[in-house]
């Protein structure tokens, strides 16, 4: 089994690095870590970086997960190869770009690009937001799946994820105590469906709501509250059609709860995405 320790970063292709940087700092409130000729790196917590925009195809998305050490990375590569997945080891330049000791890249059954990384760098200084967004860290991704049951089996049988709840066929998967770090939403194609950052409180969600209105950034869903995780949320449009989410108050499922926790089945419908009555303008959240 591939033991996932934590989610690490996302990499997104874009044809407009200048616009992506403006959005990430002015709207998201992330800190610029560094730039090179073809990429910009941002962070939202103590990790070296949690988001990288690079010059490339807007459909080129990669999500990274950390494993605990090199032995775990080698074991993960062997597990993938035994099960028919081609695992490509990153070269020295690619490792330097990602600020990791080593990584392998593979495609999940839907075709989502996944990095497994060992020895990722941390920052020696505090995250300093470009605006007062209240962000406490990069927390989870929604991934598109062309077969939710098949991909759920991949993440829970080959990897160490566990189902917290389902919304219709969509599983919400945890790899630590946080209700979910991965959410799989049925679609006709692969890619990152949304990117979540946690914020300190509902005040930060609402401040963001009014800032988005002021900047005329399309709000895709919310403010609202998920009945699954209990998190209060706001989804909004980002560069190249990406959806970003702020949320706060997510449910934790600690080790003491594991033995007795039973995943819940929610019907696929608007009330299962928001208990306050907000209605989504996100294709994968609509019937």
Tell me whether domains 6-118 and 135-285 share a fold: yes
pLDDT value of residue 257: 75
How much of the chain, in percent, has pLDDT values that exceed 90? 93
Neighbouring-strand partners of residue 165 = 172, 264
Range from 83-92, 126-135, 155-164, 272-281 carrying the lowest mean pLDDT: 126-135
Strand ranges, E, within 60-181: 61-66, 88-89, 102-107, 113-118, 135-145, 162-167, 170-174
pLDDT value at 274 more than 80? yes
Instruction: Please give the average per-residue pLDDT across 129-133, as a whole number.
Output: 92
For a pLDDT cut of 70, what percent of the chain falls above it?
100
Kindly report which listed range (82-96, 150-164, 185-199, 251-265) carries the lowest average pLDDT score.
Answer: 251-265
208-264 pLDDT, tens digit per residue, is 999 999 999 999 999 999 999 999 999 999 999 999 999 999 999 987 777 789 999
Q: Which fold has domain 6-118?
A: 2,3-Dihydroxybiphenyl 1,2-Dioxygenase; domain 1 (3.10.180)
- Average pLDDT of the segment spanning 193-208: 98
CATH architecture of 135-285: Roll (3.10)
- By CB neighbour count within 10 A (0-12 exposed, 13-18 middle, 19+ buried), where does 84 fall? exposed
Q: What pLDDT digit, counting tens, does each position of 47-101 carry?
A: 999 999 999 999 999 999 999 999 999 999 999 999 999 999 999 999 999 999 9
Domain boundaries, the chain: 6-118, 135-285
Q: What is the pLDDT of residue 72?
A: 97
Q: What is the pLDDT of residue 254?
A: 82
Give the pLDDT score at 12.
98
Buried b (16+ CB within 10 A) or exposed e, 137-169: bbbbbbbbbeebeebbebbeebbbbbbbbbbee
Cβ count within 10 A of residue 246: 29
pLDDT computed for residue 125 by the predictor: 86
Are the beta carbons of 11 and 20 closer than 8 angstroms? no
Alpha-carbon torsion 197, 202, 206, 209, what sign? positive
Q: What is the mean pLDDT of the chain?
A: 96
Residue 126's pLDDT is: 86
pLDDT of residue 20: 97
Can you name the residues that pair with 7 across neighbouring β-strands? 65
pLDDT in tens, 4-55: 999 999 999 999 999 999 999 999 999 999 998 899 999 999 999 999 999 9
Task: For residue 124, name the pLDDT band (cuts at 50, 70, 90).
Answer: confident
């Amino acid at each position: 089994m591939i033991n996932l320790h934590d989610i690490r970063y996302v990499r997104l292709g874009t044809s407009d690095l200048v616009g992506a940087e403006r959005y990430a700092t002015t709207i998201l409130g992330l800190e610029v870590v560094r730039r090179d000729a073809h990429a910009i790196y941002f962070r939202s917590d103590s990790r070296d970086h949690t988001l990288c925009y690079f010059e490339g195809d807007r459909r080129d998305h990669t999500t990274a997960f950390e494993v605990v050490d090199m032995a775990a990375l080698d074991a993960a590569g062997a597990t993938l190869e035994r099960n028919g997945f081609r695992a490509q080891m990153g070269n020295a330049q690619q490792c330097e770009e990602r600020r990791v000791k080593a990584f392998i890249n593979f495609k999940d059954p839907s075709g989502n690009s996944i990095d497994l990384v060992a020895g990722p760098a941390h920052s020696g200084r505090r995250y300093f937001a470009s605006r007062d967004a209240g962000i406490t860290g990069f927390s989870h991704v929604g991934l598109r799946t062309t077969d939710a049951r098949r991909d759920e089996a991949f993440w829970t049988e080959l990897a160490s994820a566990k189902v917290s709840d389902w919304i219709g066929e969509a599983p919400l998967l945890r790899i630590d105590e946080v209700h979910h770090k991965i959410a799989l939403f049925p679609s006709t194609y692969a890619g990152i469906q949304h990117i979540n950052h946690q914020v300190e409180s509902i005040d930060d969600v609402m401040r963001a709501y009014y800032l988005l209105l002021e900047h005329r950034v399309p709000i895709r869903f919310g403010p609202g509250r998920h009945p699954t995780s209990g998190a209060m949320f706001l989804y909004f449009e980002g560069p190249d059609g990406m959806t970003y989410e702020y949320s706060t108050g997510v449910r934790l499922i600690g080790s003491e709860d594991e033995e007795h926790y039973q995943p819940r089945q929610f019907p696929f419908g608007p009330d299962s995405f928001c208990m306050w009555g907000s209605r989504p303008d996100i294709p994968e959240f609509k019937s």
